[in-house]
Amino acid sequence: MKNLKIWIQRYKIGPLIGLILICIGLTLMSDRFFTPSNLMNVARQVSINTLLAVGMTFVILTGGIDLSVGSILAFSGALAAGALAVGMNPFVVVIYACVLGLLAGTVNGLFIAYGGIAPFIATLGTMTLFRGATLIYTEGRPIRAVEETFSNLGGGYVGPIPTPVIIMAAVVILAWFILTRMTIGRRVFAIGGNEDAAIFSGIKTNLYKVLVYGISGLLAGLAGAILTSRLMSAQPTAGTGYELDAIAAVVLGGTSLSGGAGGVLGTLVGALIIGVLDNGLNILNVSSFYQQAVKGIVILIAVLLDRRKAARG
Amino acid sequence: MPVVEMQGICKEFPGAKVLKNVNFQVGKREIHALLGENGAGKSTLMKILTGIYSKDSGEIIYQGQPVTIDGPRKAEELGIVMIHQEFNLVPQLSVAENIFLGNEAPFTRFGQIRWKSLLEAATGYLKQVGLKVDPKTPVEELSVGEKQLVEVAKALSKKAKLLIMDEPTAALTEIEKEKLFSIMNNLVDHDVSIIYISHRMEELFQICHQVTVLRDGEYIASRSIAETNMDELVALMVGRQVEDRFPKVAAALGEQILKVDNFCNEKLADVSIEVRAGEVVGIGGLMGAGRTELARAIFGLDAVKGQIKLNLGQKNLHRGRFRHPQEAIGHGIALVSEDRKDEGLVLMGSVLENLALSTLEKRSRFGIINRRRERQMVDKHVQRLKIKTASVTQPVSSLSGGNQQKVVFGKWLETEPGLLILDEPTRGVDVGAKVEIYQLINELAGRGIGILLISSDLPELMGMSDRIYVMYEGKITGHFTRETITEENFMRCATGGVR
């Protein structure tokens, strides 16, 4: 038993065990949960949040936070729909959305790194700014985005697997590689662990801060394109509150909010926990009012367990 | 009758016996030094005495009565108070508020603080510790030495009978230190006993009466200060004879490699220095004299006017100043900073990650790290510097102070510097590891690396440097060779006396 505990701590699989337990519980409670089609459904549902949460992981690892991802998602989604409407090539539209997100994220990074504004405040400001810009651009009305090739991005399949799930998997693997195998990752962890030590070690911390907010924005832009494609329209209020789900996924996955420790695999598990809960509670016909409350309780319990572990270690 | 007697104290943490049957007693009106290398068990023993840890076995007899100290509150009730190395003061609050923080009850009426009586009481305690400041002054406006005295006043307000002081002089100037010592003597005259923890051996002979040495969690010996000497204490601490505390080896001096001309900024006034290859150049002075600021300016951390000239092979020639440490590192400068925990290490990172941090590019291609080469590099430094760690994936926070410092050294050696700036390289490092660091300095100087050694430890500075600059208020006020420096000369320049 003691060995098991050490093992769980060393490989940080606490969240994974939690996910498995929830899945077992739901399987016992309903025969509609553990079916291939439902699991694919869950995977597709979590893909948007996972993309945002992966970007958020980079940001939180440096000790920052990005509240603007929901707004960036809406903004780039709306502009992508607009570009599609005037006949832009659907592939270029996706790149366009990503670049818009990257630019928006870079704005965040510049305010934070060179303007010296606290990440919470800076991204709170841009969250409102980008939402406003979206409302101005859309004039508060949805923009239709009906185009066959483009619709494949959010609604299509590669073999039996939904396209967004493939994209999600690719992004998670790439992010994992960057964070664990590349110099960028080492520096991101170092900045979150001890920013002064990072500067003393010759790391251009400001540059890397701009970079992580840029990554977060880029993934929000990509998520915006996927959501627009899936809904076949861009909603001016799309993505409202998504930043909180993304933060929840990161924290559930064991990444420290003060930075320096964690990773994207945990974040993926965190996003899956949220997705499985949403899906399971739906299957069990729990009213959406209760769903919110249950989700909140799960997050609190998970973080509490994590705290206790940290306090003892 | 001793004030406190700890008998047969044992304490085990998962995987490590930290205290093995330790005996320790402090007499009445005694200043008792507790000596030992880092990891010897001093702080664990003191944490048991102050109720922060519980003991596994053993007995504590306090003023003749067996006692159970089951928490910090209980220790305070008994009059056992510890002043930690890092102060527990709230910077924004006034001196008086800090003294009575958490113990305001006697000065309240229906929850409201009666300022007049609080200030009066504070003034009384300040008088006892000889601190002449207005009790309404915010603590953040005080010097380090004054803060230390506020801590003492706070301890007195808790009716301390047994005061534990952990490295109280670490950040004090010579004058502040003398003042603290006279107050300590005064306290002893008023029936307070003091347990004194310090790595500065010279001080023990100045102030303490009795000394107890711990090593590897075991009680080694107690001596009366009058009947022992430094060599014996060092031998007791490390368990073997240390022949030479400052094993300085003179290296062959090469060409000039660093020339700083007229550095000026907020903290520096027209500072010019030079360093030659293989030379150990000491920078001395009191706290706040501008030594660290000079290092920061050379390393590109602070803006500065003036010129810097490096001569570390052709491509390293550089004039003007560096804008970021990255540039300085690229030109062959390394800085082991004063504050290991805040500036030197990413504490939650592993030994490997810390060792690799400044040289990631060296072992990577297109930003992808070659993990095999990284592992080889890390193993090389762990072996060479004798870094004691269970594994290189261990968080560096789990290492002792000396071993942490070796990790910082390893990180910088990997950058293959031509100029190594060492800012207080042995602060908080135990005797054994200190000698290892001195030997490393010798070895590096022998390889032609120029070393700029900043130290507040005067014997160390005088023992290890070829040449010494003395700073005072941002200026160079003295310049000595190894032969011409004396303590008197040094102090005169460091306190602003003429050259």
Residue numbers in A near B408 (CB within 8 A)? none
Alpha carbon B425 to chain centroid distance?
A: 9
Phi, psi values for residue B34, rounded to 5°: -110, 115
Would residue A19 count as lying in a domain? no
Task: Please say whether the beta carbons of B71 and B51 come within 8 A.
Answer: yes
User: When comparing pLDDT for A91 and B88, which is higher?
Assistant: A91
Out of B326, B337, B349, closest to residue A202 by CB: B326
**Residue range A80-90, pLDDT digits in tens:** 999 999 999 99
Optimal mutation site among A61, A201, A204, A258, interface B, most CBs of chain B within 10 A: A201
What average pLDDT does range A144-149 have in this prediction?
92
Task: Please say whether the beta carbons of B22 and B212 come within 8 A.
Answer: no
Comparing alpha-carbon positions, the chain A residue that sits nearest to B348 is: A193
Closest approach of A208 to chain B, Cα-based (Å): 14
Q: What confidence score (pLDDT) does residue B421 get?
A: 96
The domain of A300 spans 37-312
CA B275/CA A67 separation, integer angstroms:
50
Task: Please say whether the beta carbons of B138 and B92 come within 8 A.
Answer: yes
Task: Please say whether the beta carbons of B222 and B214 come within 8 A.
Answer: no
Q: By the CB < 8 Å criterion, does B326 face chain A?
A: yes
Comparing alpha-carbon positions, the chain A residue that sits nearest to B329 is: A202
Would residue A171 count as lying in a domain? yes
What average pLDDT does range B239-246 have in this prediction?
68
Q: What confidence score (pLDDT) does residue B59 get?
A: 92
Q: How confident is the model at residue A202 (pLDDT cuts 50, 70, 90)?
A: very high
Closest approach of A281 to chain B, Cα-based (Å): 38
Q: What confidence score (pLDDT) does residue B499 get?
A: 44
Q: By the CB < 8 Å criterion, does B185 face chain A?
A: no
Token pair of A129, please? 């700014």
Residues in A lying within 8 Å of B, measured between beta carbons: 181-184, 186-187, 189-190, 193-194, 196-204, 260-261
Q: What confidence score (pLDDT) does residue A313 get?
A: 38
Closest approach of B27 to chain A, Cα-based (Å): 36
pLDDT score of B351 more than 50: yes
Q: Which helix (H) or strand (E) segment is A186 a member of? A: helix A183-193
Would residue A28 count as lying in a domain? no
Comparing alpha-carbon positions, the chain A residue that sits nearest to B353 is: A186
Q: What is the CATH number of the domain that holds A236?
A: 1.10.3470
Q: What confidence score (pLDDT) does residue B321 get?
A: 84
Closest approach of B478 to chain A, Cα-based (Å): 29
Share of chain A above pLDDT 90, in %: 84
Comparing alpha-carbon positions, the chain B residue that sits nearest to A192 is: B346
Out of A186, A190, A197, closest to residue B344 by CB: A197
| Contact residues for A10 (Cβ-Cβ < 8 A; gap 6+) | none
Q: How confident is the model at residue B314 (pLDDT cuts 50, 70, 90)?
A: low
| Cβ-based burial of B232 (10 A; exposed 0-12, middle 13-18, buried ≥19) | middle
Would residue A200 count as lying in a domain? yes
pLDDT score of A68 more than 90: yes
CA B444/CA A85 separation, integer angstroms:
68
Q: Kindly report the number of other CB atoms within 10 A of residue B235's CB atom.
A: 15
Residue numbers in A near B296 (CB within 8 A)? none
Q: What confidence score (pLDDT) does residue B487 get?
A: 80
Closest approach of B345 to chain A, Cα-based (Å): 6
Out of A196, A204, A261, closest to residue B324 by CB: A204
Closest approach of A183 to chain B, Cα-based (Å): 5
Comparing alpha-carbon positions, the chain B residue that sits nearest to A202 is: B326
Please choose, from the candidates A242, A309, A297, the residue with its C-alpha nearest in 3D space to the C-alpha of residue A271: A242
Would residue A139 count as lying in a domain? yes
Q: What confidence score (pLDDT) does residue B87 get?
A: 82
CA B251/CA B237 separation, integer angstroms:
30
Residue in the block written with tokens 């602003």: B496
Q: Determine the 3-state secondary structure of B57 from DSSP.
A: strand
**Residue range B404-440, pLDDT digits in tens:** 999 999 999 999 999 999 999 988 777 778 888 999 9
Q: What confidence score (pLDDT) does residue A312 get?
A: 44
Share of chain B above pLDDT 70, in %: 96
**Residue range B121-142, pLDDT digits in tens:** 999 999 988 888 899 999 988 8
What average pLDDT does range A237-251 have in this prediction?
94
Closest approach of B118 to chain A, Cα-based (Å): 37
What average pLDDT does range B343-361 have in this prediction?
94
Q: What confidence score (pLDDT) does residue B364 get?
A: 93
**Residue range B383-397, pLDDT digits in tens:** 999 888 888 998 998
Alpha carbon A123 to chain centroid distance?
A: 15
CA B159/CA A95 separation, integer angstroms:
71
Give how many domains chain A has, as a whole number.
1
Whether residue B342 and residue A194 make contact (CB cut-off 8 A), yes or no, is yes
Out of A183, A197, A260, closest to residue B364 by CB: A183
**Residue range B197-233, pLDDT digits in tens:** 987 778 889 999 999 999 888 999 999 999 998 888 8
Would residue A121 count as lying in a domain? yes
pLDDT score of B492 more than 90: no
Count of pairs with CB atoms under 8 A, one residue in A, one in B: 75
Would residue A25 count as lying in a domain? no
Tell me the average pLDDT of chain B: 88
For A249-273, give the DSSP string.
Answer: HHHHTT--TTSSS--HHHHHHHHHH
Q: What confidence score (pLDDT) does residue B242 get?
A: 60
Out of A219-228, A237-246, B9-18, least confident range = B9-18
Q: What confidence score (pLDDT) does residue B107 get?
A: 83
Whether residue B411 and residue A201 make contact (CB cut-off 8 A), yes or no, is yes
Residue numbers in B near A198 (CB within 8 A)? 346, 357
Whether residue A193 and residue B346 make contact (CB cut-off 8 A), yes or no, is yes
Q: Chain B window 287-306: which residues touch A at a Cβ cutoff of 8 Å?
A: 299, 301
pLDDT score of B381 more than 90: yes
Provide the whole-model pTM: 0.80
Q: What confidence score (pLDDT) does residue B250 get?
A: 79
**Residue range B466-479, pLDDT digits in tens:** 999 999 889 999 99
DSSP label at B24?
E
What residues form DSSP beta bridges with B305? B264
Q: By the CB < 8 Å criterion, does B498 face chain A?
A: no
Q: How far is CA A204 from CA A285, B61, B331, B473, in A?
A: 52, 56, 16, 31
Closest approach of A177 to chain B, Cα-based (Å): 9
Q: What confidence score (pLDDT) does residue B240 get?
A: 66
Q: End-to-end distance of chain B based on CA atoms, in angstroms?
A: 53
Phi, psi values for residue A114, rounded to 5°: -100, -25
pLDDT score of A141 more than 50: yes
Whether residue A200 and residue B343 make contact (CB cut-off 8 A), yes or no, is yes
Whether residue A182 and residue B358 make contact (CB cut-off 8 A), yes or no, is no
| Cβ-based burial of B494 (10 A; exposed 0-12, middle 13-18, buried ≥19) | buried
Out of B299, B326, B348, closest to residue A193 by CB: B348
Residue numbers in B near A9 (CB within 8 A)? none
Whether residue B368 and residue A182 make contact (CB cut-off 8 A), yes or no, is yes
pLDDT score of B112 more than 90: no
Out of A183, A189, A198, closest to residue B361 by CB: A183
CA A72/CA A135 separation, integer angstroms:
12
Residue numbers in A near B346 (CB within 8 A)? 189-190, 193-194, 197-198, 260
CA B263/CA B267 separation, integer angstroms:
10
Q: How confident is the model at residue B498 (pLDDT cuts 50, 70, 90)?
A: low
Optimal mutation site among B326, B360, B409, interface A, most CBs of chain A within 10 A: B360
| Cβ-based burial of A158 (10 A; exposed 0-12, middle 13-18, buried ≥19) | exposed
Tell me the average pLDDT of chain A: 93
Residue numbers in B near A61 (CB within 8 A)? none
Would residue A149 count as lying in a domain? yes
Residue numbers in B near A203 (CB within 8 A)? 326, 357
Domains in chain B, please, with CATH?
A: 2-238 (3.40.50.300), 256-494 (3.40.50.300)
The complex's ipTM?
0.88
CA A129/CA A75 separation, integer angstroms:
10
Q: How confident is the model at residue B360 (pLDDT cuts 50, 70, 90)?
A: very high
